[in-house]
Amino acid sequence: MPQRVDRLLDQIRTAPEGIVGDRLLASMLRPALQEFDGLSSNEAELVRGHVLAAFEHRMLDAEVINVAKEELRTSLNPTVLAGAALALRALQADDPECRTLLTGASQRLFGRDERVSFAARVSDASSVRTASDEIASTLKQWPAQLSPCCSGPIGTVTAAEPRTQTLCRHTLGRVFIEDQAGQRSPVADLLRDRTSLIAFFYTRCMNPAKCSQTIYDLAELARLAFAEPLASQLNIVAVSYDPDFDEPARLHAFGYDRRFPFAGQARLARCVTGWDAMRRQFDLQVGYGATTVNLHSRELFMVTSDWRSLGIDSEQLKRPDHLLDRLIRASSSHAAGG
Amino acid sequence: MNVEIRFPHYDAQSRTYVTWRPVEVMLKLVAPPAGIASVNVEVSAKSLALGGSLLFATTLTHLGAASVVLTLPASGQEVPVWVGGAFPAASASYGDVAVEVRDTGTNQLLGTHDLMVRIRKNGNSLSNAERDRFLSALATLNGAGTGRYSQFRDMHVGGPPDIEAHGGPGFLPWHRVYLLDFERELQAIDPEVTLPYWRFDQAAQKIFNQNFMGVANASNQVQFSAGNPLTGWVGFGLPGVDRSAGVGPTTVPALLTEAQTLNLGALPSARYAGFRAMQGNPHGSAHMSHGGGWITNPTTAPRDPIFFLLHCNVDRLWAMWQWVHQIHDPAKPASFVTGAFLPGHRLPDALWPWCGPLAAPRPTTAPGLGMASSPMTTSPPTSPAIRDMIDYFGTVSGTHHAFAYDDVPFQI
Amino acid sequence: MDVEAHRKSFLAQLAKAPAVADVKPKAVADYAASSEHDVKALCDMIGALTLDPSSFRASVRTLLDIVGNDSLETAARLAALGQLKAAEFQPAEFAEFHAEFIDLLRRLAQSPDRGMRVAAFERLTLTNDVHAQKLLHDGLEIGKPPVSTVKAIQFLARDDHGSAVPLFRRLAKATIGPVREQALRALAADTQSVALFESIANDKAEPTRLRQIAAMNLKNTSPTRFAKVATSLALDDQEDDGLRAVAVSAITHTSEVAAKVKPEFAASLLAVGVATGSRVLKASIDRYAKAVARKKS
């Protein structure tokens, strides 16, 4: 595995200039990339940090910027955070959100900062800097005054398109889930004729800002839903990325520890058959090491009764009342045939 | 004619537990013979061999006596008596001590009430039965990794949680809540159990053997005897305990002795500002005395069950320092320290995770579901602040936390 | 007992306690730099360095310099490293040194001094340092790990998100003795090794210790299959009593396993408890009986 890491780092260092290299590197930011199969979480993050750092002098598109921001939002890994800071250094104008995220990342590094070096940048030890140094340098390059525009060296940044797809009810009819109480059902039955909010997580996730936080926030939304009659038909489900390990007892313990209000419409589950099909249906951004997940995005989907799945920014879980409102509207709209 | 004895609190099995700190018990005369206005009674304790013992008084005091005489009115009006464990005679099991009420004139036994003087003890002095009860409760709480133990592990990890637990003078109060919460979870499984402590400035042959906390081999694997419930322990991911062989049955770790620790911050007058240096030595040194393994890093330490005994001793040292210098009042400057400390480390600050999720850069999740309750007391609150954890005996606040140490008496 | 008299007596004893040695960081640094220093005396001075807030920075700086000094004796450097690891328990004060500390450890992981290498890996792998893991993994793959094979496996196994499991699987099948044992331990969360665990746990020809490891691994990865194996072991009078006791203990303290045993198991087990002459097995069964009784009540 470590030799594979070396090869991946070489690939990053030798990525061609220009758009071809930019696209190659951007593709390496997808957690589900086959090249990452079998890597440990730390190896995958090391590579990810290097990919991000390589964008210091490259064109940034919306996807790369969003990846960098998401890492600044949640990552605990100094290499990844330094890489994200370097990637955003390519932004010529100040972005208030970037500034906030960089500041937050720097605070999160308190007590766990490390010296980082990137293959493409460092030639001698004296220029090795810490992740905090890189974040501070990126923050310093922007003027104190906010600028109205936010652009990379070439082109304009736009928000990433939300992921939408139509799910196949027949495929999902062959995917079975088992919830924390050991109740099994086909996914298709779960989704049929109602609006669902589906999150993905796993109990062994090492980053509390990701899966642990997701379940906490989902629990809050579920409590709000229980108190709202209009939400009575909503499904609120979190499905494990790690079905072999996340047996019902583990699902229950994880949810219980996070105040998840288990009830008919709110559950934690794992796939007992058809996990690969589920992954493909939702185009999940998750990669696997030798035994468990090595990298994953925070993934949240609204699935409506017409089998359409819409990707939702997980940050919306921080406003559960707004998100619930959105789910209720979607549910009502589809119930009315709209 | 008999006397009803009513303790202030009972658990679901109608049992009651006390520490050295007296509690107010009510006595009531029932069915007295006609024509009498009152009956004089003597309240005393009956102890089994090696059982607990009690002291009695008419007010909250440490100066109780082996018995007290009271007058109970025939009207049935309740009369209070303060009952506490007689230091240092702790119970070994429930019912090894009882309150007895006798008619002073006839010596007739009018009432009796079993209880337990439930005290945290030196792990090296536990009887086999006490040790086994503790281990069984601990293994049940661990639940092979899926029990409530995982919350305590997840509260004490690197990053923002580490700053909450170790990032300032709140270190001792934070761990006091942590241990109390943990102990209450154990008592929910077996109410006779308390957290034992590892007195790390002495050899602990009975702790570091295969029947208790295990013995590490050359491969950092802790070996347990076949019947030890910890054979199924899962601290994190893999079963087993990762610990080096730094502390064996005869090892006396190189760290400050108890006396040296208690002298920290003692001159010219005792102050917490000086005492809190114990976070480095002996606390950090105790962690490191094992040489390697989970216990030697803050991120991984609670994966090893010895962690709880280590920290129980840290808390005992604080409790002993408080007693020796009579510093229990959070209003006294000497009891804590003021300054520009991080949030979570100032006297009025609520302690994470019991206060719930916080805004970044503090932890945004909160394992633990709030402070476990106790049937024996309403204190501390579900979301305790630092100031709530200083007067654990209720010497000024009137409410106590229902724990005590075998060598730290109650004194007002 | 007269508590106040006890307190006064206690205070009097405290007054007689030997004072804590007041060792200043500069004194330690100067002594370490002296060509005539005695190693044991230096180690004692290092151990006596205080980490209280007033001298923390100076102490940690001195300790880092000692650990990083390749010309100093290993014992002194290890003593200083122990103190630095203790200092990590004060994260707010240690924060400014953390990056330098990790960097130093990564360098020491490639030290020609074996003692320093092992100590560096010991610390780095507790927090899953990817650079340390790479050195261990690369070394194991070519049969030349920077520490012993057993230690290398143990250190790598600390990361349950690691990439060395395929290597552990190979070693668990192809080696014997301590390496095989360690490799088996390292597979404890590997759901793909369930069949291996079951096979070893059931095989009376395997050493009892390995069977116990395999059984615990099976409990971790497949409570359902473990319940079957454990109940069979527990009731088999031809089995090692220690192993049976461990199996019973695991059933007692793991609710999802206890939920999967057959209803008639309890009665059969209690009968074993009455008949057995093994104290450890009897004690284990007694605990099981108490747990069952508590659950019923």
Q: Judge: C160–A111 Cβ closer than 8 Å, yes or no.
A: no
CB C156 within 8 A of CB C145: no
Q: Which of A2, A41, A45 sits opposite C137 (nearest CB)?
A: A2
Q: Residue B39 belongs to what H/E stretch?
A: strand B38-47
Question: A 159-218 residues with CB below 8 A of B?
Answer: 204, 208-209, 212-213, 216
CB A314 within 8 A of CB A301: no
- A7, A35, A114: best mutation site toward chain C, by most C Cβ within 10 Å? A114
Question: B 275-304 residues with CB below 8 A of C?
Answer: 277, 279-281, 283-285, 287-288, 291-292, 294, 296-300
Check residues B144 and B197 and name the one with the higher pLDDT. B197
The amino acid at residue B87 is F
Residue pLDDT, tens place only, B40-77: 999 999 999 999 999 999 999 999 999 999 999 999 99
List the pLDDT tens digit at each of the 297 positions of chain C: 899 999 999 999 999 999 888 899 999 999 999 999 999 999 999 999 988 888 999 999 999 999 999 999 999 999 999 999 999 999 999 999 999 999 999 999 999 999 999 999 999 999 999 999 999 999 999 999 999 999 999 999 999 999 999 999 999 999 999 999 999 999 998 989 999 999 999 999 999 999 999 999 999 888 889 999 999 999 999 999 999 999 999 899 888 888 888 889 999 999 999 999 999 999 999 989 988 888 777
Q: Which pLDDT score, from 0 to 100, does residue A145 have?
A: 46
d(CA A245, CA A289): 14
Give all chains having 3 or more CB-to-CB distances under 8 Å with chain B: A, C
pLDDT band at A106 (very low <50, low <70, confident <90, very high): very high
Q: Which pLDDT score, from 0 to 100, does residue C52 have?
A: 82
Nearest C-alpha neighbor of A224 from the set A255, A270, A265: A265
- A76, A101, A212: best mutation site toward chain B, by most B Cβ within 10 Å? A212
Q: Which residues contact C242 (CB under 8 A, 6 or more apart)?
A: B226, C208, C212, C280, C281
DSSP A107: H
pLDDT band at A142 (very low <50, low <70, confident <90, very high): confident
Secondary structure (DSSP) of B304-346 = STHHHHHHHHHHHHHHHHHHHHT---TTSGGGS--SSPPTTSS
CB A198 within 8 A of CB A303: yes
pLDDT band at B223 (very low <50, low <70, confident <90, very high): very high
Mean pLDDT of chain B, nearest integer: 95
Whether residue C89 lies within 8 A of chain A, CB to CB, comes out as no
Q: Which of B147, B167, B365 sits opposite A216 (nearest CB)?
A: B365
Question: C 236-295 residues with CB below 8 A of A?
Answer: 255-256
Q: Judge: A290–C191 Cβ closer than 8 Å, yes or no.
A: no
Q: pTM of the entire structure?
A: 0.94
Q: Which pLDDT score, from 0 to 100, does residue A144 have?
A: 57
d(CA B319, CA B332): 16
Specify burial of residue C132 (Cβ count, 10 A radius: 0-12, 13-18, 19+).
Answer: buried
Q: Judge: B294–C245 Cβ closer than 8 Å, yes or no.
A: no
Q: Which pLDDT score, from 0 to 100, does residue A151 have?
A: 40
CB B389 within 8 A of CB B173: yes
Nearest C-alpha neighbor of B58 from the set B40, B39, B34, B82: B82
Tokens found for residue C291:
């747990």
Domains, in order of start, for chain B:
2-117 (2.60.40.1930), 123-389 (1.10.1280.10)
Check residues A14 and A126 and name the one with the higher pLDDT. A14
Pairing of strands A300-303, A308-311: antiparallel
Q: Which pLDDT score, from 0 to 100, does residue A148 have?
A: 43
d(CA B163, CA B275): 19
Q: Which of B163, B363, B368 sits opposite A111 (nearest CB)?
A: B163
Count CB neighbours of A57 within 10 A: 12
Domain spanning A164-335 has what CATH number? 3.40.30.10
The amino acid at residue B372 is A
Q: Which pLDDT score, from 0 to 100, does residue C253 have?
A: 85
pLDDT band at B138 (very low <50, low <70, confident <90, very high): very high
pLDDT above 60: residue B1: yes
Q: Which pLDDT score, from 0 to 100, does residue A128 have?
A: 76
* Nearest chain B Cα distance for residue A251, angstroms: 9
Domain boundaries, chain A: 2-140, 164-335
Q: Where are the beta strands (DSSP E) in A155-311?
A: 164-166, 176-179, 184-186, 196-201, 235-240, 266-273, 286-288, 293-296, 300-303, 308-311
CB A77 within 8 A of CB A39: no
Tokens found for residue B405:
């140490």
Secondary structure (DSSP) of A199-210 = EEE-TT-S-III
Per-residue buried b or exposed e for B134-164, using 16+ beta carbons within 10 Å of the residue's own CB: bbbbbbbbbbbbbbbbbbbbbbbbbbbbbbb
